[in-house]
Structures are given as structure tokens and as C-alpha cells.
Structure 1
Amino acid sequence: MPELPEVETMARDLKKAIVGKTIRKVWYDWPKMIHLELENGRRHLGHHPASRTMFGRKLRGLKVVSVSRRAKNVLIGLSGDHILAVHPKMTGHFLSGQWIMRGGKPLPASYGLSRRQAEAIREKVNSYIHFLLWFKDGSMLGYSDARKFGRIIFGAKEKVLGSKELSSLGPEPLGSDLDLPALRKILSSSRGRIKQMLLDQTKIAGIGNIYADEILWTSKVHPLRRANSLSDGEAKALFNNIKKVLTSAIKMRGTSMSDYRDASGESGGYMRLIKVYGREGEPCLRCRMLIKRIVIAARSAHFCPRCQRLA
């Protein structure tokens, strides 16, 4: 699943590619991912009869005025105080390219693209296009999602940001609202395992399985530790490493463990810096002890039993 660094990379790429452009046409073939937030507080899904015509009609003619990120959501601000909030879930990612429709399906085209980008767009992982935007300047934006779990919410900005999906989110880990005192308060009020706390989007927004493992390894904290058991020194180390790991991953344009690609169809580079995630049975890069993997509440956790002691 794309986590904060991957979604931040998506948002930055889209900001460069589509801000200032006007939507000419909309296409989608997986109605379940489309959510229409109505003014009366109700929500229509894409397969609702009214949504099939309403969604495209409402988006046509709107101008992209901003692109940002909230947790694992890409927020595309539109004229008229509207917004598209896109959560890529397991396998979703945006692509800036060109497609032609054949038999009701989009096929990648190479015109207007460099040879490298044209080759990347044709990679299998980038071929699961289920949502397309055409812009008046002739450019296009595609959304590829192999598992089709992604969610696209459209509506008035106030309504979408006030929806349960976004209003329940905790502070941004790289934002000013998560300082050391705030983190200590979250830790002291959390009785669960530290790994679970880091994954709880209502506590801290945007961290997922990969970066939780990396942060805990860097902080020398065992994933089974109770969050409220961390000392002041451990809490400070955790705070610093949340910032350090996520910032480094953003600089490397995310991690492509599976389907994630940037808007050019390219893989993220943080895989080269991974210390513990996915390295079960391999030697710890700090002490050479073999990395172990356990399951905590149906989620995997990778750690070094020597560097990250439980007791």
C-alpha cells in the first residue's frame, strides 16, 4: 500500500503536471471506486444511476487549482471550491501520459512522451487504468489500480474534508502539529503495541507497515513494546526518526515494493535504503543478528531481536 512518502510523491508530481489545467472529459470503468459527496450530506457511489451522468457533468469545465496530500490521500483542489480526494489503497497510483480508447478500454499511446516515459507507461503494473481525465490542453491523467480497492471522492471541499474518511485522521507526522510533546501525549495515552499505534491513522496519519518497521528499527524499539512504556529518551528517538525516515523516503521518491510507481511510471528509490522491512532471515545491518518477522494484529512486523529488545 502506498504510504505517506509515496502519496507525497504522487501529490508533488501532480502539482507540477495538472495545476492550472481545465478538465474536458472524464472516464471510469469501476463504479465502486467513485464516491459523490452530495450537498445534503448523502453520498452516491459510482454505480448509482444518477452518479453515472452527474460525476462527469460536475467535473467538466472545472480547473485544477491545487494538489496536496492528507495522510495517504491525494487532494486535488478544483475551481468552485470543489475537491477530488483520492486514496490509492493497496495498488493505486497516478500516471501522466496519453491513452487512446479501443473497445471501451484505454491503451497507452506514445505521442508527446519521451522514449523512457513511453516504455514506463507500458509496464504491466501501469496498465490497470480505471479512471482518466482529459484536459483542454490535450494532456491526460490516468489512475492505475490493479486490485481496484482505491477510492475517489468528489464534492464540495467542506463536505469532503468533513467526511468520516478525512475528519478522523490524526496529526501529520511531518507537520508542526506533531511536535515532541504531542507525540509523548499520544504515547502515554496508548496502551497498545507501539507498532499498532504507528499504524493507527487516528493517532498519527500516513505511516504504514514499511515505514513503521523502519522507524522502529532505527529507534531500537521492539514492535511489541507497549506504546506507553517508552522512556523519554526512546520517545525522543522515535520522534526524530519518524521525521528522518519519512523525509529520506520522500527524497528518494518512495518505495516500490510492489505496484507503486510515480507519475512518470518509474519506481521509487527508497528500496536501496531499506534496513529491515522484508528482510526476514537476513543479517541486521547494525549487529548482524538475523532479522525476524512476527504478526501483530494481522500485520507483519520485521525487527532485529538483538538491537530491538523486548525487555
Structure 2
Amino acid sequence: MIELPESVTLARQLTGAIRGKRVERAVAGKSPHRFAFFAEEPEHYDMLLRGKIAGETRSYGGYVEIELENMRLSFNDGVNLRFFAPGQPEPKKHQLYLVFDDGSALVGSVQMYGALTAFRAGTNDSPYYLAAREKVSPLEEGFDVDYFQALLGNVDRKKSSAKAFLATEQRIPGLGNGVLQDILWTARIHPKKKVGDFTGREIAELYMAVKNVLRDMAEKGGRDTEKDLYGKPGGYRTILSKNNTAMVCPECGGEIRKEAYLGGSIYYCPICQKI
């Protein structure tokens, strides 16, 4: 899934791979998928994108957005993006196939759900997209202590858990259930712990973990649980994830626990992250 570290990585790679290239052909919706979403009818994508020259690709939260002159092409968390060099055959299944004038191609595929949105610049009114565009990223200087405290002040401290605070309601776009695990482990906070029970030190540790862990993930090309534009796993080795097959905490040697919580799995060390 594309979360903030992956969107930053994909945006950087796409800018290097396709900037300056002209779209020769666009095929959308070739493989029917119930949960692949398009802004226009898929059959209109070729008309909308053909002949457009790719500019900068940018990252907004969990969104990756390609500039195509007056058009934009954005992808959100459930879309897998791969770059195909000239001469590589078109895959049998895909939700988007964008061919450039040098014969290279960009392939977008959806496994669970995802949006592949082509729209004219300035016309995307999706509240999730707008939140990703407008809110301050943890990778920016504006995401300071005061900003973080303001986020904390806008939640029900008695009802909201650490996971609910960080990974719901688009408070921090691009911070989802995947990156959440290592952030909370680094801050030594249990995912179910109520915000109202945070100590001052825990708030400070959580703020620093959000900033530092996400920066580390982004600088290393994303998490090792996800793949980049060329199909390679990210360079950040996750601490709490499916990749920790030993299920052992690297700090205390205790057993890592996995549970279902708030629509997804959580991993935590019951010794280092007490509720």
C-alpha cells in the first residue's frame, strides 16, 4: 500500500523515469476490477492523456500525482505502479497502461482497491485528495510541536486511541496502518492506549517518532514490505510487520503480538509498549 514514504519514493522515481516524455497511448480499465476507481469513464483516458508531456511527479500524503500539461494523473494507496523499459511486453492484466514516445510504459494495477484518477488541474474535489494537498506533511518544517499539539487538541482524548489518533480521519495524510507500527514502537506507546493517558514525555516521544521514522523510511526508499517503481522492496527494514517472521522484539527479546484492531492488524511488544 502506498503510504507517505512510498509516495515520496515513487514521485522521485517517476520524475526521473518519465519527465519530458509524451504519452502515445493510454489504456484504462482493460482488466475489470470492482474496486478500481476512475475519475472519468476508462475509455476516455486515451483521449484525455494522449499527446500530453509528463512534467514533475509530486507526493501528497499517500497520493502520487503526475503532471501532464493541463491534466493530472493521481494514484492513491491501493495502486501498484511499475515502470516498463522499451521493449518489455505489455502485461496481460492491468487497470492502466500508459505508453510513452520512447516505447517505455507505466503500468498501474489494483489488488484490493485503489483510484487511478485523471482530471484537469484544479478540478479534483475529493475530500481525501484535498486533505492530502492542504495539510502539513511530517516531512515539512511546518509540522512542528505546535502543529502536533493542535492535532492532539482536536481529538476526544478519552475515546481516541494512539492508532485512532495517528491513522484515522486524515489527520496526517499518508500515515496509515503500515507505517504506524514502527512509529508507536519507537515511541514505546501501545496502539490501544488512550490519548488522554499519554504522559508529557510520551507526547514528545511520539512527535519525534512521527518525524524521524517517516523521514528514515522515505530516505531509504520506502518500507521493505512494499515495492518501488521497479519492483524492488524499499530499503527501510520494518521492525513490526509481516517481515519480522521471528515475531521477536529487537529491544527486549519479548514476543511480538499481532491483533485485529480498528479495521486492520496491529503489532506491538507488550513489554516495551504497555497500555
TM range (shorter): 0.7 to 0.9
* From 44, 56, 74, the counterpart of 1:66: 56
Q: Deviations over 1:171-227 (max 9, x none)?
A: 322123321111112123222111122112521111122211100000011111112
**What amino acid maps onto 1:72 in structure 2?**
G
* From 227, 240, 257, the counterpart of 1:261: 227
SS of structure 2 residue aligned to 1:293:
strand
Determine whether 1:35 maps to 2:3: no
What's the Cα RMSD here?
Answer: 2.3
- Structure 2 Cα separation of the partners of residues 228 and 128 of structure 1: 48
TM-score (norm 1): 0.78
Q: CA deviation at 1:231?
A: 2.6
SS of structure 2 residue aligned to 1:155:
strand
Change in 2 beyond 3 A, CA 1:171/1:226: farther
Residues 196, 296 of structure 1: 8 Å contact kept: no
Structure 2 alignment gaps of length 5 or more: none
- Structure 1 Cα separation of the partners of residues 173 and 128 of structure 2: 12
SS of structure 2 residue aligned to 1:237:
helix
* From 250, 255, 272, the counterpart of 1:290: 255
TM-score (norm 2): 0.87
- Structure 1 Cα separation of the partners of residues 190 and 233 of structure 2: 30
Change in 2 beyond 3 A, CA 1:128/1:208: farther
- Structure 1 Cα separation of the partners of residues 68 and 253 of structure 2: 51
Residue 122 of structure 1 is matched in structure 2 by: none
Residue 305 of structure 1 is matched in structure 2 by: 270
Residue 221 of structure 1 is matched in structure 2 by: 189
- Structure 2 Cα separation of the partners of residues 284 and 100 of structure 1: 42
Residues 4, 207 of structure 1: 8 Å contact kept: yes
Change in 2 beyond 3 A, CA 1:280/1:60: closer
Q: CA deviation at 1:69?
A: 0.7
**What amino acid maps onto 2:131 in structure 1?**
S
Q: Identity rate of aligned residues, in percent?
A: 24
Change in 2 beyond 3 A, CA 1:283/1:136: closer
Determine whether 1:189 maps to 2:157: no
- Structure 1 Cα separation of the partners of residues 49 and 229 of structure 2: 21
Q: Which has the larger radius of gyration?
A: 1
Residue 26 of structure 1 is matched in structure 2 by: 26
Residues 190, 228 of structure 1: 8 Å contact kept: no
Residues 97, 142 of structure 1: 8 Å contact kept: no
Structure 1 alignment gaps of length 5 or more: 37-43, 47-51, 108-126
- Structure 2 Cα separation of the partners of residues 276 and 31 of structure 1: 34
- Structure 2 Cα separation of the partners of residues 227 and 165 of structure 1: 24
Q: How does 1:95-114 map to 2 (within 5 A)?
A: 95-98=83-86, 106-107=90-91
Residue 120 of structure 2 is matched in structure 1 by: 156
**What amino acid maps onto 2:141 in structure 1?**
S
63-72 or 132-141: which moved more? 132-141
Residue 199 of structure 1 is matched in structure 2 by: 167
Residues 283, 291 of structure 1: 8 Å contact kept: yes
